[in-house]
Structure 1
Amino acid sequence: MIEPFRIDIPQPDLDDLADRLARTRWPNEVAVAGSDYGFPLARLKELADHWRDDYDWRKHEAALNELPHFRTEIDGQNIHFLHVRSPRPDALAVILTHGWPGSFLEFLDVIEPLSRDFHLVIPSIPGYGFSGPTHERGWDINRIARAWAELMQRLGYERYGAQGGDFGSGISMALGAVDPEHVVGVHVNYLPTRPNPNAGLDLSDVDEARLDKIRHLMTNRPPYQALQALTPQTIGYALTDSPVGQLVWIAERFAQWTDPRSTITDEQLLTNVALYWLTATAASSARLHHDTPRGAQPCPVPVGVAVLPHDITQSVRPLAERLYDIRHWSEFERGGHFAAMEVPELLAEDIRSFFVGLGPVELGDQRYEPLVS
């Protein structure tokens, strides 16, 4: 059963948050530390002060409730999602999946341009936000993909596309593998390509530089990733008990993974952090790092790739083409890991171009031409 869902955070939860923020116990910081030791104290206090004194959750809650929210249960797990229908009845449906430390909120700025031409389904990953927390092992990207296939079937979509970044990329690729009869194509804005010394490819200097960056990350595993992959429950205690802990855990990722020219506002960042805090999903969201298998995911359907210059890594096309049926490849001039928030217009147009470009073979009897250029 699919039921309408309305966000309504209990006032005692908001009062508790304000009280905890007011009683934050701050560490000291060495002089002229910069970010050498971690996230700068002055910047974190600025964000925490804004969260405590100026940020208004109820304002954002009211705005979010203007969107069509729903919940259903699949495989014993609550699934929250937005379902925005296009004004054109023959529109192709596209399911958009976020990653960590993001949420369904990442896609708010692409809803309007994309819904002109596509029906949009925007779920919260199990363990995240209003889909969370999870209560059992095994919610990896493949199980999530099977849940998405069931969700799209319940919504009545016989043919649909998938899009995502970060974990949303892996989930979307896995969805193409578990439901290839219905998934017409997968568009991703994050596609890791691991070095393959046996590939026998003559790579450009740009591609070699990208591989060097990937090798460095593989050798120097980021601390957040190691903690969430190895002991998600342990780090979950600290993040669930301290709003400033949850804030810095996410704010540091946004600071490191976005384009320096990014226009993501403190209000957007704090709404995303508040979603994790108010749903107490720090631990359950971290478990996805623990449960998901490593390595490339098979995907037998057509794939489109958008490469962002300030993302964690940049894909190497010759390696990607060894693994996937690449039909579309874009190199953006700006943007980082949170593409839907940083460059929503560019991403929306790239998604549109990919699915329109698939043509009648993959899409069936109908051609999907954009309503606007």
Structure 2
Amino acid sequence: MPVIKSDVIDEDRRRLLGAAASGLAALGIASLLPAYSRAAPGSVAIRPFQVNVPEADLDDLRYRLAHTRLPEKETVGDFTQGVPLKTTKQVLDHWQNKYDWRKAEARINAVPNFITEIDGLDIHFIHVRSRHENALPLIVTHGWPGSIIEQLKIIGPLTDPTAHGGSASDAFDVIIPSLPGYGFSGKPEATGWGPERIATAWITLMRRLGYTQFVAQGGDWGAVVTDMIGVQAPPELLGIHTNMPGAIPNEINNGSFVGAPAPAGLSDEEESSYDQLVSFYKNVYYAFLMGTRPQTLTGLSDSPIALATYMLDHDRASLEMIARSFDGHDEGLSPDDVLDNVTLFWLTNTGVSSARLYWENKLAFFAPKGVKVPVAVSVFPDELYQTPRAWAEKAYPNLVHYNKLPKGGHFAAWEQPKFFTEEVRAGFRSLRKAG
């Protein structure tokens, strides 16, 4: 397991914060470190954090990769049986011969990382304050099979927009927590950590950091958590942004789930979205397994290549894009990007603990949740489904921004950080004036 250095001794705190400050330039960030002395009196301690994976853990990973036993080649010429053997071999070769975890570790440690206990569980988070005045606090939540790795590319453009083609008036303070059971956050030892409880924990985190106003953003599970922050609507919340809206009308969702013909009266746009949903639901067995038998996935803790292939097979468009990247094509994600995320899961042994979120969830994933606060929606073309404006307007009656992007998929912040950051800026621009 990674060594977590979280001492609150003043000398260690100064050393760790100093190391984080010196590494900000690695991500193109000119930012101030968090000033936690401004947090509300009585706050639970916020402890500095660094990642330092023992070399023995990396040796163990190398040994397991070297002793991987692969299956035979698939009997089809496409992706209908899952991750092709060719792609699996390419992942294995890159992991063994070209990949360096220490580079990813350095990128994580280049920004300020912290741990704080909320509701009995240690929560890890990145917190980068902008150097610009009046920066808007933004909490960004990842999904599965994701982690904080997904958001590292957006920290610089959001916290220091003038260095990345933006205006100082669009600056954000960025907070990126690791979901419970994911990455460097604690693993719940009892049931009850579903999206609603996580949303409450995130509100507690923002208050603990001393923020009196904030906005929230998310995709995948992060979108569900962010919707629930919107449902809970704390007075500090100005609005939310989602790149995977919970906006499918129940009658549409129920029909597409069972693969029924499209209902009559749909527009061409809605019918296309319906067909996308039917296709997705035919290939969502990973979610069924995690939602019903997460503990059965013990192999994800024992075999790194099993973990990698399971994580790669999230959705058809993402898998095909990742396969092309391992073939040498310039795609939204590089082989190193992919393996940074997989290796983080492996080293923290969170393959099973992260899967339990599917078991915990009692919400309809894509259905409207009853969000009344201002909402910004960004629609990426290779997302699981394209949200028509009509659906977004019905699900989010206070829709303040809606836009369709020319490129990008399910992992929008990771794949297309430029488009993503521009959307976040545009989506929250009107709320800055209102706030």
TM (normalized to structure 1)? 0.91
Residue 244, structure 1, aligned to residue 343, structure 2: no
Deviation at 1:221, TM superposition (A): 5.4
Residue 345, structure 1, aligned to residue 388, structure 2: no
CA 1:198–1:76 in structure 2 vs 1: closer, same or farther (change >3 Å)?
closer
The residue aligned with 2:90 is 46
> Take 1:50 and 1:201, find their aligned partners in 2: how far apart are those partners?
49
> Take 2:320 and 2:130, find their aligned partners in 1: how far apart are those partners?
31
The residue aligned with 2:287 is 225
The residue aligned with 1:368 is none
Deviation at 1:33, TM superposition (A): 4.1
Deviation at 1:300, TM superposition (A): 2.1
Deviation at 1:5, TM superposition (A): 0.2
The residue aligned with 1:146 is 200
**What secondary structure is seen at the aligned counterpart in 1 of 2:51?**
coil
Q: Pick the aligned partner of 1:14 from 35, 51, 58.
A: 58
The residue aligned with 1:24 is 68
Residue 124, structure 1, aligned to residue 178, structure 2: yes
Q: Which moved more, 1:46-55 or 1:26-35?
A: 26-35
> Take 1:328 and 1:258, find their aligned partners in 2: how far apart are those partners?
29
**What secondary structure is seen at the aligned counterpart in 2 of 1:298?**
coil
CA 1:232–1:31 in structure 2 vs 1: closer, same or farther (change >3 Å)?
closer
The residue aligned with 1:300 is 372
Deviation at 1:139, TM superposition (A): 0.8
CA 1:119–1:321 in structure 2 vs 1: closer, same or farther (change >3 Å)?
same
> Take 2:74 and 2:224, find their aligned partners in 1: how far apart are those partners?
40
CA 1:225–1:32 in structure 2 vs 1: closer, same or farther (change >3 Å)?
closer
1:326-358 CA distance string (max 9 Å, x none): 110010111000100111111101111111122
TM (normalized to structure 2)? 0.79
Residue 88, structure 1, aligned to residue 132, structure 2: yes
Alignment length (residue pairs): 360
The residue aligned with 2:119 is 75
Deviation at 1:207, TM superposition (A): 1.6
Q: Pick the aligned partner of 2:336 from 267, 279, 283.
A: 267
Following superposition of structure 1 onto structure 2, how do residues 70-219 of structure 1 map, counting pairs within 5 Å? 70-116=114-160, 117-197=171-251, 203-218=266-281
Instruction: Detail structure 1 runs of 4+ shifted over 6 Å in the superposition.
Output: 198-202
Gaps of 5+ in 2: 1-44, 161-170, 254-262, 322-329
> Take 1:181 and 1:198, find their aligned partners in 2: how far apart are those partners?
33
**What secondary structure is seen at the aligned counterpart in 1 of 2:431?**
helix
**What secondary structure is seen at the aligned counterpart in 2 of 1:129?**
coil
> Take 2:126 and 2:100, find their aligned partners in 1: how far apart are those partners?
22
Deviation at 1:31, TM superposition (A): 5.5
> Take 1:100 and 1:162, find their aligned partners in 2: how far apart are those partners?
18
Counterpart of 2:229, as a letter, is L
Deviation at 1:29, TM superposition (A): 1.8
Counterpart of 1:210, as a letter, is S
Deviation at 1:198, TM superposition (A): 9.4
Q: Which moved more, 1:23-32 or 1:127-136?
A: 23-32
Q: Pick the aligned partner of 1:283 from 352, 367, 374.
A: 352
Deviation at 1:254, TM superposition (A): 6.7
The residue aligned with 2:15 is none
Mapped contact 1:161–1:186 kept (Cα < 8 A): yes
Q: What RMSD in Å do the two structures reach over aligned CA positions?
A: 2.1
Counterpart of 1:249, as a letter, is Y
Following superposition of structure 1 onto structure 2, how do residues 347-362 of structure 1 map, counting pairs within 5 Å? 347-361=420-434
**What is the percent sequence identity of the aligned residues?**
41
Deviation at 1:48, TM superposition (A): 1.0
Residue 318, structure 1, aligned to residue 390, structure 2: yes
The residue aligned with 1:333 is 406
> Take 2:56 and 2:202, find their aligned partners in 1: how far apart are those partners?
34
> Take 2:278 and 2:74, find their aligned partners in 1: how far apart are those partners?
32
**What secondary structure is seen at the aligned counterpart in 2 of 1:94?**
strand
> Take 1:297 and 1:333, find their aligned partners in 2: how far apart are those partners?
27
Counterpart of 2:291, as a letter, is A
1:85-112 CA distance string (max 9 Å, x none): 0012321100010000011111111111
**What secondary structure is seen at the aligned counterpart in 1 of 2:384?**
coil
> Take 1:11 and 1:3, find their aligned partners in 2: how far apart are those partners?
24
Q: Which moved more, 1:163-172 or 1:201-210?
A: 201-210
> Take 1:63 and 1:171, find their aligned partners in 2: how far apart are those partners?
26
Mapped contact 1:307–1:330 kept (Cα < 8 A): yes
> Take 1:251 and 1:243, find their aligned partners in 2: how far apart are those partners?
12
Counterpart of 2:342, as a letter, is V
Counterpart of 1:288, as a letter, is L
